[in-house]
Amino acid sequence: MGDWSALGRLLDKVQAYSTAGGKVWLSVLFIFRILVLGTAVESAWGGRAVCLQVQHAATGL
């Protein structure tokens, strides 16, 4: 994919200048996004996986 160290350095710089309130706000935003993503995935794929294949017992063996 690529070198992730540049992203790590950028996040370290951002964290150095962030206030405690900003860190809490970013954490809340991240959790909210995960919850929205989970809800969207569940509504898109939840309950649709129904097996339509019927398996009959083997007879006459």
Domain ranges of the chain: 19-55
Q: What pLDDT shows up at residue 26?
A: 84
**49-61 core/surface letters (b: 16 or more CB in 10 A; e: else):** eeeeeeeeeeeee
- The residue type of 56 is H
pTM of the entire structure? 0.51
3-state secondary structure the chain: CCCCHHHHHHHHHHHHCCCHHHHHHHHHHHHHHHHHHHHHHHHHHCCCCCCCCCCCCCCCC
Residue 10 has pLDDT above 80, yes or no: yes
Each residue's pLDDT tens digit, 18-60: 899 988 998 899 999 999 999 888 877 766 555 666 666 666 5
